[in-house]
Amino acid sequence: MTRPTIVQLAQAAGVSPTTVSHAFSGRRYVDPDTKARIVTLAQEMGYRANPTARRLRSGGGGSIALVSSMPFAVAAGPSRLGFLMEIAAAAAVTALSRSTTLCLVPPLERGSQLEALDVDGAIVVEPALDDSVLDFFFERGVPVVAIGHAPGRPDLPAVDLRSTETARLLLDHLGGAGWRVGLVTGLQRRNSYIETEAAYAAFCAERGLASAAIRIDERGGEDEAAVAVEAFLRQNRDIGALCVPVDAFAAGALRAAAALGLSVPDDLRLATRYDGMRARLASPQLTAVNLHLDQVAETAIDMLTGLIEGRAASPKPIAPPLLVERASSARSSS
Amino acid sequence: MTRPTIVQLAQAAGVSPTTVSHAFSGRRYVDPDTKARIVTLAQEMGYRANPTARRLRSGGGGSIALVSSMPFAVAAGPSRLGFLMEIAAAAAVTALSRSTTLCLVPPLERGSQLEALDVDGAIVVEPALDDSVLDFFFERGVPVVAIGHAPGRPDLPAVDLRSTETARLLLDHLGGAGWRVGLVTGLQRRNSYIETEAAYAAFCAERGLASAAIRIDERGGEDEAAVAVEAFLRQNRDIGALCVPVDAFAAGALRAAAALGLSVPDDLRLATRYDGMRARLASPQLTAVNLHLDQVAETAIDMLTGLIEGRAASPKPIAPPLLVERASSARSSS
DNA sequence: ACCGGCATGCAAATCGTTTTGCATGGCGTC
DNA sequence: GACGCCATGCAAAACGATTTGCATGCCGGT
């Protein structure tokens, strides 16, 4: 009942395993008749090369893990599902074409069955400062590539999400004659926040505007954002535009505006970062940025497989972030 | 620069590979001092057992695949991302706690690198009639568990999504005094559609209502649904409620209603099946059904691991589907 | 002095491929 | 007839672990 091996097939065909291997791989010449016999026989017997054995011999890659440092309950909740899973989907496709498989790894709790995790490398999505996930893999010598640089670890291989550029794009788009632009980020110390906040500071300095920024606890999600942004706007009446990278927070900001009787975009212009379902389903639809996550995922996998095989990681360039203008930031037709 | 093997570690520690192996696996007694020496040395040298080699020798014990028969471009698009990925997230957690890993497998194209796919089992999400994905795994003797029965293959192990019950739940909720209830499903022949359509036929028969149903091509997504439903409603003016299991189609139906000047829920009551982000972000929010996808995923994994290990598959019961009432089907306050 | 048993560790076989290096025989050429 | 070359195929060594059977050396009991 067990699958036939190459040896059994070879015996049945009256040849050596070598010839069978060559017949399939084509790496050496095999008599056409012989090859045909082998192939049909393989069909009959249901022979398929054992992928594990094949990989062992020819050093192929095994599996790589995709990890979010945020609990799935949060990551898979409305707030982050899109971002993580869009990457996951793209990464799965790329991984398969590189003959490795992509494993989804739920957030790590030390001392759990996680010790048994058997992967050749890991991709960590937007690690935060001192992220324990990184240490975990680091400790056991598993190569890691981050999507979005790990704060405080510029040495760690990473695919740059170009957050500074993205922030500039959003801020320049939002910035208008005279009014202030506010910024809403999160409490965690992720690189995208850090870069965005820096870009924001520079932006304000250039234009001689007073900055107005708050950070919101990610765990609170849209609801907490709605409350916090409402208070924030109440205190800063002169804010004419709001840059809200986290899409869940942007949704909260939308509610806050409604609560205050502010119309979007006429009284308040709004834009977010990740152009996912959330941005498109909001009303009005949210201006966002195309981050080319498919390219990001592909690059991350290529870097990681390179790392696993001992080659130097040479990040391919990602297309620059692209603003997707929608109703939430339409310029008032004046 | 390549990873050290067990032989190198053994040499460095002055013992045999056997002892190293036993030190880690614990399958034989090893002197505590020796073990300690090996472990610390392994740490220093960054030794990790090669998962591929390990698997080759000791058989499976690896990974299971999660497959959607729909292209990721569609499955991961707004229309199905939620459903598939919510299962993926839950399954990943369960899988890890059973010490296997969950691999995301993009839709299969024959003759691609897919041959190299190395999994011990597969979970297929809502297979369609004659789904080639099932044959693929069947051919190579990989055990499969379906989420949602495979049409025409009642023998295939599956976790029941209880679509008949779900449909009854929705229809009974929508059915009101006198008006007709319409049904919108998809072109593919998935079990959930089949059961839903049967339940719908029975529902109409019981109440002596003429049935009114259409099927929409999944690939067209929300846009095509908007067009199709509008035409459908125009032809069936007496429809007072619409049961639209596919959430993307429900969103389209919402647009169709708006285009016709019908108010939801006053002129048209609406409900969908999967209670995901889409249902919650629609306006008005869509009445939907809690399918307990976390339990579904857990059960699927348990069945599959059972199958892999040769035990009989004994499906655990899933909690019954639960209606989540929202504004889209609120009874008019009369 | 002998023997059984325990603690400790090693050698070698094994998993199923792929990949070299070498063997065989036939055939054309000088 | 000696020589080289091509076509065809096989044997054996990897790949990196796990697992089984056996070998020591030491101890206490008789």
pLDDT of residue B213: 97
Q: How far apart are CA B250 and CA B219, in angstroms?
A: 15
| B85 vs A51, A66, A81: nearest CB | A81
pLDDT at residue A334 is higher than 50: no
| B86 vs A76, A88, A117: nearest CB | A76
Q: How far apart are CA B103 and CA B266, in angstroms?
A: 45
pLDDT tens digits for range A169-191: 999 999 876 789 999 999 989 99
The DSSP code for A16 is: -
Phi then psi for B255, rounded to 5 degrees? -65, -40
Which helix (H) or strand (E) covers residue A307, if one does? Answer: helix A293-308
CA A28 → C1' C29, Å? 27
Output residues with Cβ under 7 Å from nucleic strand C: A 2-3, 5-7, 17-18, 21-22, 24-25, 27-28, 47-50, 53-54, 56-58; B 14-19, 22, 28-31, 34, 53, 56-57
What is the block-wise mean pLDDT of chain B (334 residues), using blocks of 10 residues?
A: 84 91 88 89 86 80 78 48 80 78 75 66 91 82 89 91 96 86 94 97 93 92 93 94 94 96 93 90 92 93 79 76 95 59
The answer to whether B304 and B321 are in contact (CB under 8 A) is no
Pick out the nucleotide with least CA–C1' distance to B19.
Answer: C9
pLDDT of residue A171: 96
| A102 vs B50, B104, B116: nearest CB | B104
The answer to whether B145 and B139 are in contact (CB under 8 A) is no
Residue type, A190: R
The answer to whether A118 and B53 are in contact (CB under 8 A) is no
Q: Is there a contact between A117 and B104 if contact means CB atoms under 8 Å apart?
A: no
**β-pair partners for B105:** B67
User: Can you tell me the mean pLDDT for A99-110?
Assistant: 74
The answer to whether A72 and A106 are in contact (CB under 8 A) is yes
**β-pair partners for A101:** A63
pLDDT of residue A312: 65
pLDDT of residue B60: 62
pLDDT of residue B75: 45
Quick count: other Cβ atoms within 10 Å of Cβ B99?
Answer: 15
- A249 — pLDDT class (breaks 50, 70, 90): very high
Query: Looking at beta carbons, which residues of chain A come within 8 Å of B277?
Result: 78, 81, 277-278, 281
Q: Is there a contact between A103 and B104 if contact means CB atoms under 8 Å apart?
A: yes
Suggest the residue from A52, A113, A247 to mutate for an interface test with chain B (most B CBs closer than 10 A).
Answer: A52
Pick out the nucleotide with least CA–C1' distance to A30.
Answer: D8
Q: Is there a contact between B280 and A99 if contact means CB atoms under 8 Å apart?
A: no
**Concatenated DSSP letters for A104-128?**
EEPPP-TTSGGGG---SEEEEES-B
Phi then psi for B302, rounded to 5 degrees? -65, -45
More confident residue, A235 or B219: A235
pLDDT at residue A250 is higher than 50: yes
Q: Which residues contact A250 (CB under 8 A, 6 or more apart)?
A: A184, A225, A244, A270, A271, A272, A278, A279, A282, A286
More confident residue, A286 or A316: A286
**Concatenated DSSP letters for B191-235?**
HHHHHHHHHHHHHHHHHTPPP-EEEE-GGGHHHHHHHHHHHHHHH
Read off the tokens for B95. 């899988």
Phi then psi for A79, rounded to 5 degrees? -70, -40
pLDDT of residue B79: 44
Pick out the nucleotide with least CA–C1' distance to A18.
Answer: D10
pLDDT of residue A81: 60
Residue appearing with tokens 């789904």 = B131
Nucleotides of D under 7 A from a protein CB: 7-12, 14-21
pLDDT tens digits for range B255-296: 999 999 999 899 999 999 999 888 888 889 999 999 999 899
pLDDT of residue B73: 47
Which helix (H) or strand (E) covers residue A58, if one does? Answer: helix A51-58
Q: Is there a contact between A106 and B92 if contact means CB atoms under 8 Å apart?
A: yes
pLDDT tens digits for range A267-304: 999 999 999 888 888 889 999 999 999 899 999 998 98
Q: How far apart are CA B5 and CA A119, in angstroms?
A: 16
pLDDT of residue B155: 87
Q: How far apart are CA B70 and CA A208, in angstroms?
A: 52
Q: How far apart are CA A251 and CA A267, in angstroms?
A: 16
Q: How many residue contacts between A and B have a Cβ separation below 8 Å?
A: 159
Q: How far apart are CA A1 and CA B141, in angstroms?
A: 10
Among B197, B171, B188, CA closest to B126: B188
- Please write down the HEC assignment for all residues of A70-86: CCHHHHCCCCCHHHHHH
What domains can be seen in chain B, in order of their start residue? 6-57 (1.10.260.40), 63-161+294-308 (3.40.50.2300), 163-291+322-329 (3.40.50.2300)
Residue type, A229: V
Q: Is there a contact between B81 and A82 if contact means CB atoms under 8 Å apart?
A: yes
Pick out the nucleotide with least CA–C1' distance to B3.
Answer: D16
Query: Looking at beta carbons, which residues of chain B come within 8 Å of A72?
Result: 89, 92-93
How high does pLDDT run on average in chain A?
Answer: 86
Q: How far is CA A190 from CA A18, A129, A139, A218, B128, in A?
A: 53, 6, 21, 11, 42
CA B103 → C1' D4, Å? 55
- A68 — pLDDT class (breaks 50, 70, 90): confident
CA A29 → C1' D4, Å? 21
Q: Is there a contact between A101 and B103 if contact means CB atoms under 8 Å apart?
A: yes
Among B12, B3, B33, B9, CA closest to B21: B9
Q: Is there a contact between A55 and B101 if contact means CB atoms under 8 Å apart?
A: no
User: Can you tell me the mean pLDDT for A115-137?
Assistant: 83
pLDDT of residue B261: 95
pLDDT of residue A74: 47
Query: Looking at beta carbons, which residues of chain A come within 8 Å of B59?
Result: none
More confident residue, A229 or B209: A229
Q: Is there a contact between A56 and B51 if contact means CB atoms under 8 Å apart?
A: no
User: Can you tell me the mean pLDDT for A202-214?
Assistant: 94
User: Can you tell me the mean pLDDT for A243-256?
Assistant: 94
**Concatenated DSSP letters for B76-120?**
TSTTTHHHHHHHHHHHHHHHHHTT-EEEEEPPP-TTSGGGG---S
Q: Establish how many alpha carbons lie within 13 A of residue B75's alpha carbon, considering only the half-sphere containing its beta carbon.
A: 27
Query: Cα distance from B96 to chain A (closest Cα, Å)?
Result: 7
- A73 — pLDDT class (breaks 50, 70, 90): very low
